[in-house]
Amino acid sequence: MSNALVWGAGGGIGQALTSLLLAKGWTVVAVTRHPTRLETSAAHVIETGDILPFDVQTAVTTASQFISDVNLWVYAVGDIVSAKVEDMSPDSCQRIINANLTGAILTTHYSLPLLASDAHLMYIGAVSERMRLPGLSAYAAAKVGLEAFIEVLGKEQRHRRVLNIRPSAVDTPLWEKVPMRLPKGAATPNIIAEQILEAFDQKQIGTLDLTS
């Protein structure tokens, strides 16, 4: 039986992936700030708070009670804010950096001992060059930083597979936080979840652009 650890399992992509993995017979530990969204799920649900070292370490320790030798590890946490640099509060900026970058680093650091020797680590990034728009400075900067982190991690963890998944527009609640319309033809979280599992089956590494 295969084991998966999904961070951000209460979000659109995280929920879809958790459901798909369970349907395929996986054992899933789902880490989320929104456990009520997974009340009917068969996953082992772990509620976590802010992206702080203690919270992340506690979540990993709890996860180890349910699974070991994690085969698929996914970081699907994300947040966005639309505010020009002159108007953005330090707290808002830090929240976006924490969700999209710092959280990825911390969860990876504490999770590594729990992973199988040939585990596949996947991060939900963004087509960052398309996100360098007024009002999205913190989000765009965090996603570029995430790409650099993933690239370096892949060089350090050569015995494992590391993949940066860069979806184009996905129909999730994040769009409610920006003054832009959801593009026509945006992917559904279910489609992205299927593509994640396909990437796992194909043992893909590096960068995978899911552009429309």
Q: What is the pLDDT along the chain (212 residues), one digit of tens a residue?
A: 799 999 999 999 999 999 999 999 999 999 999 999 898 788 999 999 878 899 999 999 999 999 999 999 999 999 888 899 999 999 999 999 999 999 999 999 999 999 999 999 999 998 877 778 888 899 999 999 999 999 999 999 999 999 999 998 777 776 677 677 777 877 899 999 999 999 999 999 999 998 65
- Predicted confidence at residue 80, as pLDDT, reads 86
- Predicted confidence at residue 15, as pLDDT, reads 94
Taking Cα atoms as reference points, which of 120, 117, 80 lies closest to residue 101? 80
- Predicted confidence at residue 9, as pLDDT, reads 95
- Predicted confidence at residue 187, as pLDDT, reads 83
Is residue 189 within 8 Å of residue 6, measured between CB atoms? no
- Predicted confidence at residue 75, as pLDDT, reads 98
* Burial tier of 195 (Cβ tally within 10 Å: 0-12, 13-18, 19+): middle
Q: Which domains does the chain possess?
A: 3-210 (3.40.50.720)
Residue 91, classed as helix, strand or coil, is helix
Sheet holding 3-7, edge to edge: 44-47, 27-32, 3-7, 70-75, 115-124, 161-167, 206-210
Sign of CA dihedral 91, 125, 15, 200: negative
- Predicted confidence at residue 134, as pLDDT, reads 86
Residues across the chain: 212
H helix or E strand, kind and range, residue 5: strand 3-7
- Predicted confidence at residue 212, as pLDDT, reads 55
- Predicted confidence at residue 183, as pLDDT, reads 73
Is residue 47 within 8 Å of residue 35, measured between CB atoms? yes
* Burial tier of 24 (Cβ tally within 10 Å: 0-12, 13-18, 19+): exposed
- Predicted confidence at residue 175, as pLDDT, reads 64
Count the alpha carbons within 13 Å of 93 in the hemisphere toward its beta carbon.
11
